[in-house]
Structures are given as C-alpha cells and as structure tokens.
Structure 1
Amino acid sequence: MHASEDTAEQIAALLEGIVRRQRRATKDGVGASVTHGQFRLLRTLDQADRALRLSELATQLGIVPRSATSVVDDLESAGLVARRPDPGDRRATLVTLTPAGTEVLTTIRRTRRDAMVTLVARLTPEEQSTLHHLLTRLAQD
C-alpha cells in the first residue's frame, strides 16, 4: 500500500470515529427513539421549509420510495411528522413536521453541536479554522 493510500485509510477511519461520536451524542441526547435515517428525514423536511411529497423525500434522501414510506410511518406513529393529501394531486401525500418533530430536531441539533464544540475545543482557534477550511474543501462536489 502506498503512503497516500495508507493516509487516506487513516483519515477515513478517523472521520468514521468522529461520526460515531456524533451519533452516540444524539442517542444520549434524545434516546434511541430517533434513528440516523429518521433524523435525516426530519432535517430534510425542516430544510425544505414546506411539506414534501413522499417521492420528493425519497429523492432528496437518495432512498427508494418504499423506504421513505417506512420511515415516515415510524415518525408519524411517534407524532413527529404528519401526512395530508396533496391539494394539487389527489393521488399524492404531503409530509410535514409536527411541533413535536421540530422540538426533537432542535434537541438533536443542539446535542450534536454541543458534542462537536466539546470535541473541537481541544484545538486552537487557528487549528479550528484550518480544520473547517480543509473539511469544506473535501466536502465540495
């Protein structure tokens, strides 16, 4: 294995560890009641700032419509999202966040942010700026 491949593998492992910490912090903050996939769906609805069709949700999440339906079923049972008929298309269903869903999403975001603040507090302000810059470059499409 070349040195650059070894470095890339090490970076991938480190990033995976950080993501695991974030997910663990989320579970600690709201319990195991919201999975990562459910969090993504809640976040997608919040960012859309409007009700979305199930097919739109599936597309934005990169999952098949049947999977989106299953996630919405679970979130609806928990009172975190609500379905309603699409007034523009009787065959379609719109999904929206409920006030309880917004509250859970806010709690998850706060918990994740607090966990990251604790983690990056180990770095100097200059290191934090460099890390932010490098991650931004890596995240660009």
Structure 2
Amino acid sequence: MLRLPQHEGATASAATVFPVTADTDSTEDGLAEAFRAVTRRLRHRTGEALAPWDVTPGQSRALGVLIRHGALRLSALAEHLRIAPRSATEVVDDLETRGLVRRRPDPADRRATLVAPTEEGTRAGAAIHAARRAAAEELFGRLAPTDREQLARILRTLRD
C-alpha cells in the first residue's frame, strides 16, 4: 500500500489533495494531462529515432548546437541547452567517448577549452537531426500548418 508522507496535524484524503468545488475548472487538469501524454509520446518516438546512434535526446541536442554554432566553451554550450555547466561536461564526455566531439584549447584563452564536432559528429548530427525531425513530423504532421504555427508560438511562450 502506498503511504503518503504525513505532516504534523495534516490529514490527507483525495478530497483535500484534489478538491472539487464549483470553482474548479477541469480544463487545467485535462490540459496538463494531455500535455504530459503528448510529451511522453514525443519522448518515446525520439528515443526510438535516436537508437541507431546510441545517444540520448540531450546528447543529440548538444551535438546539434555545436554543429550550428561551431566550437563553444562548455559554459556557452550549457547556456544554449539551458542546463548546468556540470551537466554539459557530462554530455560532452559521453559525446567525446563516441568520437562525435573533441576538446581543444581556446586560442583566445589557453586556460579555457572549446568543444567542437568531429567530422563523424557532423555526419551523425545531420542524420540524427533528420531522424528527430521525422519523429516530430510523425506526431505533429496531423495538425494543419496554422495549428502547428500557433502551437509553436504557445510553447515558446511557456518555455520562456
């Protein structure tokens, strides 16, 4: 049986955790659940699409950023990916192990390191990008172009 943590003086019941009142609008709950379901479906399809390269979605995003922007410091890569610098280091470590990126000294500051895609990384990155686009198209292709544009605008608003 699942036990929920209890706080002193608190009692938990479905009615107190998820109160239903005349003011409750189930639209928010339905919207949140629909968003989670679409996110799960997109993650699943993306994972399947990336399987041939044995990279994670985060690694594929990092490789894409490096291909688009060229050599970057780890801190700049982390900013592009909106992740912590330590997480960017782990992503780059994994990509470097696979031979998809390489580190080199920054000519502007010998203390700093730049990360750049290798030739193999650039080739793999192009194929990965195409596979990710195909997975997204499989999901979003059912929407009319105007609906896709509106959804993209809404998601950018929520992201920022």
What TM-score does the superposition give when structure 2 sets the normalisation length? 0.71
Which of residues 93, 98, 110 in structure 2 aligns to 1:73?
Answer: 93
Distance of aligned partners of 1:13 and 1:85 in 2 relative to their CA distance in 1, 3 Å threshold: same
CA drift of 1:121 comes to: 4.0
1:13 alignment partner in structure 2: 33
Distance of aligned partners of 1:19 and 1:88 in 2 relative to their CA distance in 1, 3 Å threshold: same
Which of residues 146, 152, 160 in structure 2 aligns to 1:129?
Answer: 146
The answer to whether residue 57 in structure 2 is matched with residue 36 in structure 1 is: yes
**Structure with the larger helix share:** 1
C-alpha RMSD of the superposition: 2.3
* Partner Cα distance (1:30, 1:45) in 2: 18
Letter in 2 for 1:132: E
Q: In 2, are the aligned partners of 1:26 and 1:108 still within 8 Å (CA)?
A: no
CA drift of 1:110 comes to: 1.9
Which stretch of structure 1 is more off in the superposition, 105-114 or 88-97? Answer: 105-114
2:4 alignment partner in structure 1: none
Deviations along 1:66-96, one digit per CA (max 9) or x if unpaired, are 2211111111000111111101101000001
2:68 alignment partner in structure 1: 47
3-state SS of paired residue (2:99): coil
Distance of aligned partners of 1:137 and 1:103 in 2 relative to their CA distance in 1, 3 Å threshold: same
Deviations along 1:71-130, one digit per CA (max 9) or x if unpaired, are 11111000111111101101000001122222332223222322333334444x3xx412
* Partner Cα distance (1:80, 1:57) in 2: 15
Q: Superposed, which structure 2 residues align to 1:61-140 within 5 Å? A: 61-123=81-143, 125=144, 128-140=145-157
Using the aligned pairs only, state the percent identity.
45
* Partner Cα distance (2:101, 2:155) in 1: 33
What TM-score does the superposition give when structure 1 sets the normalisation length? 0.78
Letter in 2 for 1:36: P
3-state SS of paired residue (1:34): coil
The number of residue pairs the alignment matches comes to 135
